[in-house]
Structure 1
Amino acid sequence: MAKNFGRVIEVMVSNMLFSMDKYNLEGTIPFDNDLLPNESEIKLWNLSKDTISRIKRNDTLMINAGYRGDVGVILHGFVSKVVTKREGVDAVTSIHVLDSHDLSSRKVEDIAYAEGTLGSYILKQMAAILGLPIAQFDLNQDYRYEEGYTASGEVTDIIGKVAKDCGTSAYINKGKLYVRNLRRGADDIFALSIETGLIASPEPFDEEKFKGYRIKSQLQYRITTASVVDLTSKDFQGRVHVRSGTHTFSRTGDFTTEVEAILP
């Protein structure tokens, strides 16, 4: 069995560090393959009023997670809300975090592209307007708009539509923009088995366009959207590609990564 001890969580926000060694904390960190910002929630117990007051909306928040000697980033985002409530004798502070700024205000109006414009040109121009760094850009096909194209509305919607025309996913992860096929890229391969953290048997799913497995493992920071997993279980052995999931952590409870992964 994989070792599940020496848990490490480090929450960094507003020039402060909250470590699981010193603070009771828990959280859920979702990730997926679309352009809507994902909202994470981190809870910390019995912070002082002065400490809480220092955490401001739009402050950058990062979380490192893993086990002693093997730790990596699972969240890079921006504080959207801070709420403190009493639970018995405890004060519990919930920090809500978006994995990008609110992008709904990034809009354009009737930008006309000439006949024969390639999707890649539109995507790169819209990405520049969006203002996020591009982590990966790799189209399945560079769709040509023979009759031209007019971009109007929210920039994220335009990127999503043009990427779809190019047969490609577009999503935001850890504050960066990805335009790429989930099944193709220069991702590291993670071998997941009982020995490396697999929990229970993967559950198969079969949709109209995708087949794959729902997988649960001990928390693994290397697994996120588009991760390549070489899965070994009692009922299945082969390669899958992650499209969505959630990291869940606490001091004594869940410390897991659950994902939906599609077959090649």
Structure 2
Amino acid sequence: MANFGRVIELTIDDMIFKMGTYAIEGTIPFDNDPIPNESEIKIWNLSPETIDRIKRGSIVAINAGYRGDVGLILHGFVSKVLTKWDGTDKITTVYVLDTDDISKRKVTDIAYAEGTLASYILRDMAAQLGLPVEQFELNQDFKYEDGYTANGEVTKIISDVAADCGTSAYVNKGKLYIRNLRYGADDVFMLSSGTGLIGSPEPFEDEDFKGFNLKSQLQYRITTASVIDLNCRRFNGRVHVRKGSHKFSATGDFMTEVEAILP
């Protein structure tokens, strides 16, 4: 894939900003926990009237890719807007959460009876968040023999209960996923030097996983739990994305960086 024909289409409420007409750059993170990710988007030399129309809570979407092959990499809400001057340039930075700020949602002493299954608690807590559940599949449905008391931040409760089931819980593009990163009916993306792989993947190992840190030309299909068939000099096989980010600008970075784990 040649690195030309870059496309960025940023929509904020009813306003559309396209790369080529506007100087735009940004970083869009994604990961495997339910805490909302905050993206950072910079736009150069907007008019005061346009800046005034970008408000906290405005709906944001970004489609990115290359001419003829573009897809969604962000859907969320403006969390704050800052404008400053850099010489003769005026730079407006728009911060975007990939969902409402659900990290502030809390519950107090919700008691579940002895023998309650984790799936019941997770569905109850998901309802507290108010997000659509895109996938729900547990490695094991843990039973709380002594009962369970939900108290505190809902996102942490969901993360802890999912962990008891050996399962990840995360938010992506405004939807809640409770699932194993390495199992599911996900599309498989073939990644090699011919389809966008940049450089040589670097191996890593932590307490729980082995895998690779790798870079690709910006690929909207790659996000949390994406399945990649990686073909490079160091490794030829399947990996599963745990976290990463999309980075874009008109002349600088236009890439997707990920941490991908082995099956």
Q: What TM bracket, shorter-length normalisation? A: over 0.9
Distance 1:83 1:233 in 2: 42
Cα shift at 1:14? 2.1
Give the gaps of 5 or more residues in structure 1: none
**Cα distance in 2 between the residues matched to 1:254 and 1:142:** 42
* Alignment partners' CA distance in 1, 2:13 and 2:226: 30
Letter of the 2:192 partner, please give it.
S
2:213 maps to: 214
Query: Which amino acid letter does the alignment assign opposite residue 15 of structure 1?
Result: D
1:177-215 Cα shifts (integer Å, max 9, x gaps): 110000011110000000000000000001121000000
SS of 1:129's equivalent in the other structure is: helix
Scaled by the length of structure 1, the TM-score of the pair is: 0.98
In the alignment, the residues of structure 2 paired with residue 73 and residue 242 of structure 1 have an alpha-carbon distance, to the nearest angstrom, of 17
Shift of 1:38: 0.9
Query: How far apart are residue 99 of structure 1 and its match?
Result: 0.9
Structure 2 partner of 1:65: 64
Q: Output the amino acid matched with 1:121.
A: Y
2:19 aligned with 1:35, yes or no?
no
Letter aligned with residue 209 of structure 2: F
Q: Counterpart of 1:214 in structure 2: which amino acid?
A: N
Matches within 5 A, 1:106-185: 106-185=105-184
**How big is the shift at 1:21?**
2.3
Aligned length: 263
Residues in 1 aligned to 2:35 and 2:194: alpha-carbon distance in whole angstroms: 35
Shift of 1:118: 0.6
C-alpha offsets along residues 72-118 of structure 1, whole Å, 9 cap, x if unaligned?
00001110111111011110100001111111331111111111111
Q: In the aligned structure 2, how far is the partner of 1:45 from the partner of 1:104?
A: 31
Distance 2:207 2:149 in 1: 31
Task: Give distance in 1, aligned partners of 2:152 and 2:121.
Answer: 14
TM-score scaled by length of structure 2: 0.99
Look up the SS of the partner of 2:158 in the other structure. helix
Instruction: Please identify runs of 4+ aligned residues in structure 1 that moved more than 6 A.
Output: none
RMSD, matched Cα: 0.7
For 1:201, the equivalent position in structure 2 comes to 200
Q: Where does residue 77 of structure 1 map in the other structure?
A: 76
* Maintained 8 Å contact 1:14/1:56: no
* Other structure's SS at 1:95 match: strand
* Aligned partners of 2:169 and 2:179 also within 8 Å: yes
Find the residue that maps to 1:139 and give its secondary structure: coil
Q: Is the 8 A contact 1:218 1:257 kept in 2?
A: yes
Q: CA deviation at 1:136?
A: 0.6
Is this contact kept in 1: 2:35–2:103, CA < 8 A? no
Q: Deviations over 1:194-249 (max 9, x none)?
A: 00000000000011210000000100000000000000001110000000101000
- Please name the residue that 1:228 is paired with: 227
The match for 1:245 is 244
Query: Could you list the per-position Cα deviations for residues 110-134 of structure 1 after superposition, in whole angstroms to 9, with x for gaps in the alignment?
Result: 1111111110000001000111111
Instruction: Report the Cα distance in structure 1 between the residues aligned to 2:103 and 2:215, rounded to whole angstroms.
Output: 33
Query: 2: CA distance between counterparts of 1:93 and 1:45?
Result: 6
- Where does residue 95 of structure 2 map in the other structure? 96
Q: Using the aligned pairs only, state the percent identity.
A: 70
1:56 aligns with 2:55: yes
